[in-house]
Structure 1
Amino acid sequence: FQTSPWRLISGILGVMCLVLMATLGKLLNDCSSCPKMWIGYQCNCYFISNERKTWKESKDFCASKNSSLLQLQNKDDLDFMNHISELVYWIGLSYNKERSAWLWEDGSALSQTLFSFLQTVDIRNCIVYIPNDGFLDELCREEVRFICKQQLI
C-alpha cells in the first residue's frame, strides 16, 4: 500500500493545525479568566473601584490583589479607559526624583506623544486620570476611586 507524498504532507499539516488550534484555545482560556468583579480586556483584568481611597491605600489594595494601579501604555489602553467611565481615578503614575521624570509603577516612562497633562502639575502630588480629558494632579491624601490592572500573560 503506497501513499502519495501529498497525502503525507496533508496529514502532517492536519496534525499541525490541530496542535495550533489546541494551543490557541488554551491561550484564549488563559486570557479570559479574570477574578470575580474584574473586567477582562486583551489579556488584562481591570478592577474599577467604587470605593474611594488615598493613592497609597489604592496602590496597596492593588498590590494585595496581585495587580498594580492602572498604567496607560498605548492607544488601546487609552481607548478602553475612555469607554469605561467619566469619573476620576487614581493611576499608577508618580514622580521619580532621581530620574526627574513621571514614571509608571513598573519604572517605565510616561509617553509624551500619547499623553499630556491638562495643567502644570505639582510633582509632590499624585496623578488622577479623567477618561476623555487627561491627567490632573491631586493631593495624595485625597480619597479618590482607583483602577487596578492585572496582566494575565
Structure 2
Amino acid sequence: MSEEVTYADLKFQDSSKTENIQEFNKFGRKVYITSKTDMEKLKKLQNFKEELQRNVSLQLMHNMNSSEKIRNLSITLQEIATKLCHELYIKKSEHKCKPCPKRWMWHEDSCYLQLTQWETWQKSDEICSNYNASLLKIKNKSVLNFIKLRNLYHYWLGLSPSKDHTSYKKLDETIISSDWFTRNTNDLNDWIYCGYIHDQYVSYTECTDRKNIICEKLANSVKIESILMSEVPEE
C-alpha cells in the first residue's frame, strides 16, 4: 500500500518545481533525476557559453585584421621613409636619415666603404671584419651598375682565394660566379691568388700583393622620426 501512495504523490507533483528526486535503480544505487527547471538553466548556460565563444572568436578575428592592417601600414611607411631619405641623401650624402655610418656609401639595402690604402688580401679582409663588414661581393645587376659608376682600379674583391691563376674576366660575369668568399682563410702565401677590380674587369694576382679596400655590410632601417624632422625635398 505504501508503494502506491508514493507513486501517487510523485505523479501529482508539479514536475517543473521538482528538485533532485531520488530513486533506487534495480541494483540498489541512488539515481538523481534532474528537474525540468534545472534543465532549462543548463540550457541557458550552454547558450550563453556558445554566444560568449562566438563573441571571443569575432573579437580575435577583428584583432588579427587590425594587426595585419597595422603591419601593412608600417611596411608602407617604412618604404616611403626610405624613398624620401634616398632623395635627401642624393642632395646631402651625410644626411642624418642615412642608414649607413659616416663616410659609407648607401645603395639599396647595403653600405659600402671605399678605402684607398694598400693592403694584402688577408689584411683587407680583416679590416672589413673590424667594421662588421666583408670585402665587396657583386651578386646582382643593381650592385654591378653601382660599382661600375665608381670606376674602381685595384680594389680587392670578396672572391675565394685559389691555387690556380685565373685569367681576367669581365666584371659582369661575377654575378653568376660561385667563387664568392664564404670561409676563413689563414696564412695565404705567394702561391695563392686573389681577385680584384680593375675598372670593368676582374683580374687575379698573388694574395700577398697589396691593393685598395672596399667593404660592404647591411644597411640599417631608415628611422621614420629622422625623416619627420627633415625638410622635404622639392619636386
Shorter chain as denominator, the TM-score bin is 0.5 to 0.7
Runs of 4+ in 1 over 3 A off after TM superposition: 14-21, 25-32
Map Cα deviations across residues 120-152 of structure 1 (whole Å, 9 max, x no partner).
Answer: xxx8211111232x1111111111101101112
Query: How much has 1:95 moved relative to structure 2?
Result: 4.0
Out of 179, 182, 192, the position equivalent to 1:106 is 182
List per-residue Cα deviations over 1:63-106 (Å, max 9, x = no partner): 11011000011111111111012422101001468xxx962123
Farther-moved stretch of structure 1 (58-67 vs 134-143): 134-143
Letter in 1 for 2:180: W
- TM, length-normalised to structure 1: 0.66
Pair 1:135 & 2:202 matched? yes
Shift of the 58–21 alpha-carbon distance from structure 1 to 2, 3 Å rule, reads same
Q: 2:112·2:216 contact (CA, 8 Å) conserved in 1?
A: yes
Q: Which runs of 5+ in 1 are unaligned?
A: 1-13, 108-122
The answer for the alignment partner of 2:212 in structure 1 is 145
Hey, what does 1:45 align to over in structure 2?
Answer: 111
Does the 8 Å CA contact 1:70/1:149 hold for their aligned counterparts?
yes
Which of these residues, 114, 117, 126, is aligned with residue 60 of structure 1? 126
For the aligned residues, what is the CA RMSD? 3.2
Pair 1:23-2:90 in alignment: no
Kindly indicate which of the two structures has a greater share of residues assigned to helix. Answer: 2
2:147 aligns with: 81
Q: Gaps (5+ residues) in structure 2?
A: 1-68, 87-97, 164-176, 184-190, 221-235
Aligned length: 122
Q: Secondary structure at the match of 1:77?
A: helix
Percent identical: 25
Does the CA-based 8 Å contact 2:152-2:197 persist in structure 1?
no
> Structure 2 CA distance, aligned partners of 1:126 and 1:96?
7
* Deviation of 1:24 (Å): 2.6
After superposition, the Cα gap between the structure-2 partners of 1:36 and 1:17, relative to the gap in structure 1 and judged at 3 Å, is same
Secondary structure in 1 matching 2:119: coil
Q: Is the 8 A contact 1:89 1:129 kept in 2?
A: yes
Q: Secondary structure at the match of 2:116?
A: coil
Letter in 1 for 2:196: V
Tell me the distance in 1 between the aligned counterparts of 2:155 and 2:104: 16
Greater RCO between the two (CA within 8 Å, min separation 6)? 1
SS at match of 1:66: coil
Closer/same/farther in 2, CA of residues 30 and 141 from structure 1, 3 Å limit? farther
